[in-house]
Chain A
Amino acid sequence: MSNEARSPYLPIPMHVLHAYYESTDRSLKTLELSFDDPQDAREFFAAFNPGQFCLLSVIGKGESALGVASAAWEGDFVRFTAQKLGSVTNALHELKPGDPIGMRGPLGNGFPLEDWKGKDLVIIGGGCAFSTLYALTKHLHHPSNRGDYGKLTVIYGTRTSGLCMYKQDIAAWHQRDDMEVHQAIDVPEQDWLHHVGYVPDVVKEVSPSPVNSVAVVCGPPIMTKFTLPALVELGFTPETIFTSLEKRMKCGVGKCGRCNLGPKYICKDGPVFSLAELNALPADL
């Protein structure tokens, strides 16, 4: 790039490194993208923080906002998992290794990792919204980061075992001695060794301690709606409960207007908010 600042609407040129299905029903596909220009990679990782998102561009189809599902230490690539839902995500599912793709980001604030240092972390996810929590967990696993935080508990629920993302990694997490993992599915399945039930109920069952703890919740609206009060009941204060929000987005940089929640824009001021912040904003989700 010249010294002229990059337009916030101009995607970074990328290409697909790996593309593979994440769920057995093929509704979720993971794309790992690498940078055409190494300078772009340096700038991206200098700014990147887990919890941020990007706008992926399939030229001729449009853009779609997706949370980053990888940690910086994993390598010079960026991982996303897309649910096949609209025209852009359908096009994303068609992509093959080597295909060109545009990416704008990293966008948004990400998780306030500095503020969380020295605290126990309770990470609660549901469905495909687990992607940024996966990035967060991977980030914490790095030896140079793990020591900054206390006990790590992950609670992850999906409708069925087939919809569980990042299966191999999560299976390996059960063997780690520096974290606790609780997986759940909604209805019983043969050979399922973990929890059965909805995430808010699993949270109550696991009953993480609120003492010097922070809880992070990402999931479908219905899960979040019932998980937040469950955490409050366990003694977590609104300042120690965080969630990541989503709304329809176009620009990703606080200009196109549509993702506002009162005076805040989810793209620019979020997507991560504490429950205390959300309580002061109108319920316009």
Chain B
Amino acid sequence: MSVGLVGVFLVAAGLVGAGAFTAAWRRDLTAALAGVPLMFAGAGVAFVGVSRFSVAGGPQLFGQAFAVLLAISAVALVALGVGIAGREASR
């Protein structure tokens, strides 16, 4: 049993698709915002997979670093969205 770059990309596609489906399907805008971290997760998996499998001659850490940035951006986006939704709902 082994894992290749194609398998990593398939998982990334699944996560991006789940996020896009969440963003499109939920009637509540705040719940739809939860799809964005899932799409970021898919992108991060793809970056880490490329960093893991497609490097010749040593570790290139750009993919891992970009995955870290995507995760931090996801939590910031959700915080901002929940804050804005709370403000709009209180009006």
Q: Do A and B come from one complex?
A: no
